[in-house]
Each structure stands twice: as C-alpha cells, then as structure tokens.
Structure 1
Amino acid sequence: MSKSILAVLIFSFISINKMASQNQKIFITSVKKSDNSVEYNYTKAVPGNYFIEFDLESAANVENISAFRKTYNLNLTEDSGTLFKLEPADKEKPIYCSYTYSYRKGSIKPQLDNSIVYFLPFKQNKEVRIYETFRFNVKPEIWKNYTVFSKTKDTICSMRKGLVTEIRKFAVSDKGNTIFRTEIIVDHADGTNASYSGVDENLLAVKLNDQVYPGSMLGVMDNVVDNDKNHVFKFNVYYLSDEEVDGLDGKKNKVIERSVMPIFYTAEGYQNLYSDKKYTVKYNDEVLFREMTPQEKEKYTSSNVM
C-alpha cells in the first residue's frame, strides 16, 4: 500500500471515532505502540454500506505529510477489521492531527460489478411496459428511474441479492394534496443500491436487515393511482457519486446519485431497458444463484420452487 493511500485510511477512520460517540453505529479502537506509531481497528455495528467524508484541518509528525489532501472520502464495506498503522515522521515524538467529518449511508463511487445481471422486479411471466423518468436538468445517462403503470396492485420482487437497509416514507403531491408513499432500499455487495418506490406500507414482505435474493417478494404496489387509474411503481439502481456534471443547460450541476443501467434477464433474453417497450419477466438459475454462497443456494433450493 502506498503512503498516500495509507494516509487516506488513517484520517478517514480517525474521523469515525468521533461519530461512534454520537450514535454508536461505528466504533474505532486505537493502540499506541512503543515506537509512537498508532494502530486503528474498527467495528461497524450497523448493516449496509457507509462512507466517511472528512476534512483534514492540520497534522503534525505524520510520515509523508506532503501526500495528504484536505478532503477524503472512504467507503466502509466490512463489519470489522484492522484499518491501518500510522507511522510518525519523528520516531521520538507523538502524532497530532485535527479534522472535521461526516458520514453517510451508501458507498461513494464504488467499484461496480458490471457482470451482474438483474431480474425485473416483478413475478415471473408478468408482462410490463417500461417507461423512463428523469430529474430536472440531469442528463439521462446520469440519472433515470424506470416506471411501470399497472391496473392491478402487482407483486414487487427483488432484482438482485442484497440487504434491506432502509424502508422510508416520502411526501408527494397528488391532485393538490400531500400524500406519503413508501420506498424500499436494498444494498448490494458492490456498493450499488436498488430503490423500489411505490410499495404498500401495510403489505410489506420484508423488514430492515432482511437478506433478499433475486425474485424474493418485497411487497405489492400501493393504492396511489394516476388520472387513468394506474398504480405507479418506480425502480432504479444507483450509487452515490457526489460530483459536478454538465447539466442539460450546459451549466455545471451537482448530482448526489448516479444511476446504473444494468443488463436484465427477460423472456426476450439479456436486455438493456428502453422506454415505451414491453418486457416479459423471466427467471433463470444462472442469475438467481450468481451471488449466493453454497449454503444460501442449498437453503434456497430446499425451500423454494422456481
């Protein structure tokens, strides 16, 4: 590991130590060695992906101090481990540093696994027409939702193996009134997230921290309908990017989330999704078992029928 990378680790996880005292989600223990080096270990006592954003204000007696930047982001994906060992520039003196920090749920600019294929988020053999919706002044290749309209309250299923890390309500305007809808967030192993928006909060099939697999039932569409009496469900695969991009108006636009446009397995084959096109939901073993451990696969096959 290079010294510059080591420095990133050092100050990012020192920041976590402060956070743990506030909400006890992430814990850091430090051990000062006889040579004035410091070893840091961590325990993440909350499921899902998190990242730290912090500003290094000052540092003294840190080896290779010129390699440091002011701001760092670092993803936390493991539950525990040894983080790093900080080496002093002068072995006879202790290390000093000051910093501010914050943390957020999710992974910032993760290493995407583009080989993963997804299922459409419905029961097998369901035919759906996909539409795309966008954010104001954000290019479609940066962010989009996939939207499905249905006359019935269809069953919503997981697109990929993951962990349910958030079930939240959000307010929307409907015919001049404010109503609340429910969104399920599932974290994936590569740091991406799946959003399932428009699920009936009273008919959820999952709870926080549940492990889900491709095709696992999450719930059903909610009772909110549009002017044509269609239930409206939106889904999206994304990751946190926190970057400036060119907007549709040519000006710089800061985006927090960036969509992933994965390949989906359908009855028509392996497909990218396009707006105003019909697809038939289909499952297969290759996609279903791709991310399962042998134990998960054995348990699943013994209790489920495709």
Structure 2
Amino acid sequence: MKKCALFMALLPLAVFSQQPYSTNDLKNGKFKEDSSFIYNLPFENKKKVFLVQGYESIFSHSGEKALDFKVKTGTKICAARGGVVTSTRKDSDKGGLKKANLADGNYVVVEHSDGSSAWYWHFKKDGVLVNIGDTVTTGQRIGFSGNTGFSAFPHLHFEVQGYDASGKYTQLPTRFYTQKGIIYLRPGRFYKTFH
C-alpha cells in the first residue's frame, strides 16, 4: 500500500515537470534531432505502455534526454534498435530512492552501427538475457523489467547517447514508431508498440 501511495504522489510531479521543447530548441542547438534513425518502442509488438517521465523532467531527468516507461516487473524488454551488447549488469536486487541506489541498477547497453548507444535500465535481478558481445536485432527480447537502482516503482529507463552537432558525446532525443505515426514521446500518455 505504501508503494502505491508513493507512486500516486510522485506521478504528477514526474509527468508535469517535463520542460517544454520545440523545433526552436532544435534550431538553436539546444539539442540535436536524431533524424538518422527512428526507434521501435522497447517492448513487444502491440504492447501498450505509459510514459511517466520524459526529457528534461525535473523529478529525476533534469538536464537529461531520457524516458521512463511505467511497466510491471517482468515486462518483456526488447531492443529498440539492433546492435552489439557492450555492457550489462544483472546481479542486483537493490532499489529505492536513496543516492546509494544509483549504482545498483541492472542494465543493458547496445551500441549501434553509427556509434550511438541505447541504455536500458532497472531490469529485475537475473532479468538480463543478453551478454557482452552478443549481436541483437531490433525487437529481440533482451530482458525483463524490474525496480533496481534509483527507482521508486517498476519501470524501464531508456536513453540514447551519441554525438551531437558540436561533436560531444551526449544524450540524444529520439523519435519512435508508434500507432500514431513517427513521433517524439510526451509524458503522461499511453503509447502502443508498432513494429
């Protein structure tokens, strides 16, 4: 019951704290549009998911281009784009909102052919199905969601890192294939995976 109350208390903060951005932000170099690739949502085909936190949210994404999808523990996580697995962790069962939990998350990092990498966080203990060096294809199952690391509730944290217009390696906003077409995702909305 406490976890449900905590989630309900944090939900409005996470959803409504996203900083607005527009095409002007792209033109002014605030961030680089990733027009080179369109990602699949990192879930099974036709899976409906809720985006609880988006880019620049002041709850825990301040200054970050990252997305948090609220999903149940054990939800199948799939590669949003093909590549090679460069890093994983699967042995943690720790999670919570203490700074000490920042290093406790289970994760998968997949490097793409253009040098960018997708980061998937908060897998359940022993919920990572891939190993370093594995080649994965778009839509391939890579693990199961959980609540490890800096996390108030079960969810998937997803971000893409790559080179921006200035040549700096940083987080990049990404567009996705959805049932509504090719779009940037907004928090507080449901999206359905479309492969």
Q: How does the TM-score come out when normalised to structure 1? A: 0.44
The structure whose RCO (Cα within 8 Å, separation 6+) is larger is 2
1:207 CA displacement:
0.8
What is the deviation of 1:167?
A: 0.9
Q: What is the rounded CA distance, in whole Å, between the counterparts of 2:34 and 2:83 in structure 1? A: 14
Which residues of structure 1 form unaligned runs of 5+?
A: 1-111, 244-255, 284-306
Residue 162 (structure 2) pairs with residue 239 (structure 1)? yes
**Letter aligned with residue 165 of structure 1:** T
Number of equivalenced pairs? 156
- Structure 2 distance, partners of 1:204, 1:190, is 24
The Cα of 1:177 is off from its aligned counterpart by: 8.6
Give distance in 2, aligned partners of 1:277 and 1:156: 19
Tell me if 1:184 matches 2:108.
Answer: yes
* 2: CA distance, partners of 1:132 / 1:113: 16
1:160 pairs with one of 74, 78, 81: 81
For residue 121 of structure 1, report the CA deviation from its aligned partner. 0.3
Matched, 1:280 2:176: no
Specify the alignment match of 1:117 in structure 2: 38
Gaps of 5+ in 2: 1-32
Deviations along 1:21-53, one digit per CA (max 9) or x if unpaired, are xxxxxxxxxxxxxxxxxxxxxxxxxxxxxxxxx
CA distance in 1, matches of 2:45, 2:79: 12
Structure 1 partner of 2:54: 132
Q: What one-letter code is carried by the residue in structure 2 that aligns with 1:132?
A: G
Distance 1:171 1:147 in 2: 19
Q: 2: CA distance between counterparts of 1:202 and 1:168? A: 9
User: Residue 116 and residue 204 in structure 1: after superposition, are their counterparts in 2 closer, same or farther (change >3 A)?
Assistant: same
Could you tell me how far apart the structure 2 residues matched to 1:201 and 1:135 are?
A: 27
Matched position secondary structure for 1:198: strand
Match for residue 86 of structure 1? none
Letter in 2 for 1:273: L
TM-superposed deviation, 1:173: 6.5
On the 8 A contact 2:94/2:148 being kept in 1, the answer is: no
Alpha-carbon distance in 2 for matches of 1:200, 1:218: 12
Judged with a 3 Å threshold, the aligned counterparts in structure 2 of structure 1 residues 182 and 268 are, in CA distance, closer, same or farther, namely: same
Task: Report the CA distance shift for 1:210/1:275 in structure 2 as closer, same or farther (over 3 A).
Answer: same
Does the C-alpha gap of structure 1 residues 135 and 125 become closer, same or farther in structure 2, counting only changes over 3 Å?
closer
Q: Which residue of 2 aligns with 1:196?
A: 120
Return the offset for 1:200.
2.5
Name 1:292's counterpart in structure 2: none
Give the TM-score normalised by structure 2: 0.66
Per the TM alignment, residue 162 of structure 1 is displaced from its structure 2 partner at its CA by 0.7
Structure 1 residues 114, 176: closer, same or farther in 2, change over 3 A? closer
Q: Does 1:268 align with 2:180?
A: yes
Would you say the 8 A contact 1:199–1:219 is kept in 2? yes
Shift in Å, 1:114 = 2.3
In proportion to residue count, which structure has more strand? 1
Q: Is contact 2:68–2:158 with CA below 8 Å preserved after alignment?
A: yes
Find the aligned partners of 1:237 and 1:115 in 2 and give their Cα distance.
13
Aligned residue number for residue 21 of structure 2: none
Hey, what's the Cα distance between the residues in 2 that align with 1:204 and 1:175?
22
Contact 1:153–1:223, Cα closer than 8 Å, also in 2:
no
AA in 1 matched with 2:162: Y
Considering only CA atoms, is the larger Rg found in Structure 1 or Structure 2? 1
Q: Give deviations 1:87-127, integer Å, cap 9, x for gaps.
A: xxxxxxxxxxxxxxxxxxxxxxxxx9723211000111111
